[in-house]
């Protein structure tokens, strides 16, 4: 889908992450779309959809940190065991990168998508992540999307209810940044990932809403936002970033950048652009 209706704020609260992510990751050269040679394809969707209820016909495995349930027959027993181990590693990785652990058990349900469209959602107030896939989609892609969703849960645990009001740039930016290598492909960091867009004057304004825009634009915005988060944390520190994160009002650029950093959003965006290109910026 390439068009999304304007999302009312009321629709954001039941879904404790702002996005239903559909991601398909290719690592083969012929699929690469940038000079960094990696790009997931995803789309976002909102709605007041309740999470699936755990049923007796689900295959389940887990511990005190992560419980995996999957549609019966979706995976062979050994495949599910391998997927669970991969998801555990992903959760540990994003927790270390984010700088905080989950405050409770996370339940992740892997269901069958009849259309074979990979998509996922995090209900962070319910500590539940859902990813829908099919047998023909490599399990690694499930882990890629889960890594992003796990960071949304970590944000909810770290920031509390303010997470639900976060500036979209920061909310999706830190979830993408936190997923790190699960989204970077062969790029060293998000700065280098987005550099070709900036160098070739193809970067989108950071405050752009992806509503009504092509999926390719939404992809690009997620990476640019991750790079912006990377810039803010590296140059201004995590403590001030955390102050910024809880000052948002959902829409892009709605956080109190001037109050926290002493520069407005436009000035910070200009500094970010210069930083991406390797030019000097004042700390």
- Is residue 109 within 8 A of residue 51, CB to CB? The reply is yes
Give me 71's structure tokens.
Answer: 């549609």
pLDDT at 30: 28
pLDDT at 50: 53
Give me 104's structure tokens.
Answer: 């409770």
With H, G, I as helix, E, B as strand and everything else as coil, classify residue 58.
Answer: strand
Distance in Å from the first CA to the final CA of the chain = 41
Q: What are phi and psi of 129, to 5 degrees?
A: -115, 140
DSSP bridge pairs for 128: 107, 123
Q: Beta 66-71 vs 58-62: how paired, if at all?
A: antiparallel
- Is residue 220 within 8 A of residue 262, CB to CB? The reply is no
Give me 152's structure tokens.
Answer: 């949304």
Q: 110, exposed or middle or buried, with CB in 10 Å at 0-12, 13-18, 19+?
A: buried
**Taken in order 157, 162, 165, 169, is the CA torsion positive or negative?**
negative
**Taken in order 227, 231, 233, 234, is the CA torsion positive or negative?**
positive
Q: Bin 9: left if φ > 0, else alpha if -120 < ψ < 50, else beta.
A: alpha
DSSP 3-state percent helix, strand, coil across the chain (nearest 5) = 45, 10, 40
| Cα 62 to Cα 77, 104, 146, 265, distances in angstroms | 14, 13, 16, 43
| Cα 132 to Cα 20, 66, 112, 137, 207, distances in angstroms | 11, 18, 5, 10, 30
pLDDT tens profile 189-199? 999 999 999 99
- Global pTM reads 0.81
Query: For the chain, which residues score pLDDT lower than 70?
Result: 1-59, 61-62, 279-283
pLDDT at 42: 41
Q: Does domain 9-276 have CATH number 1.10.390?
A: yes
**Taken in order 115, 116, 118, 122, is the CA torsion positive or negative?**
positive
pLDDT at 209: 94
Q: What are phi and psi of 8, to 5 degrees?
A: -70, 150
- Is residue 191 within 8 A of residue 198, CB to CB? The reply is no
């Amino acid at each position: 889908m390439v068009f999304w209706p304007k999302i009312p704020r009321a629709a954001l609260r039941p879904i404790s992450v702002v996005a239903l992510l559909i991601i398909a990751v290719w690592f083969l050269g012929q699929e690469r779309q940038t000079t960094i040679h990696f790009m997931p394809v995803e789309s976002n969707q909102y709605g007041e959809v309740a999470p699936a209820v755990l049923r007796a016909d689900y295959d389940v495995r887990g511990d005190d940190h992560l419980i995996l349930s999957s549609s019966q027959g979706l995976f062979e027993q050994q495949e599910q065991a391998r997927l669970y181990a991969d998801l555990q590693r992903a959760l540990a990785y994003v927790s270390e990168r984010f700088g905080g652990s989950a405050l409770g058990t996370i339940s992740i349900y892997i269901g069958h998508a009849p259309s074979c469209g990979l998509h996922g959602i995090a209900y962070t107030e319910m500590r539940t992540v859902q990813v829908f896939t099919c047998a023909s989609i490599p399990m690694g892609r499930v882990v890629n999307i889960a890594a992003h969703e796990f960071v949304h849960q970590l944000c909810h645990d770290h920031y509390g209810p303010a997470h639900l009001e976060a500036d979209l740039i920061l909310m999706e930016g830190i979830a993408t940044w936190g997923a790190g290598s699960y989204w970077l492909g062969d790029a060293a960091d998000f700065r280098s990932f987005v550099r070709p867009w900036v160098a070739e004057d193809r970067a989108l304004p950071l405050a752009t809403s992806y509503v009504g825009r092509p999926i390719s634009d939404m992809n690009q915005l997620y990476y640019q936002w991750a790079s912006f988060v990377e810039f803010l944390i590296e140059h201004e520190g995590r403590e001030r970033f955390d102050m910024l994160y809880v000052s948002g009002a959902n829409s892009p650029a709605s956080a109190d950048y001037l109050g926290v950093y002493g520069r407005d959003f436009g000035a910070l965006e200009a500094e970010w652009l210069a930083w991406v290109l390797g030019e000097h910026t004042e700390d």
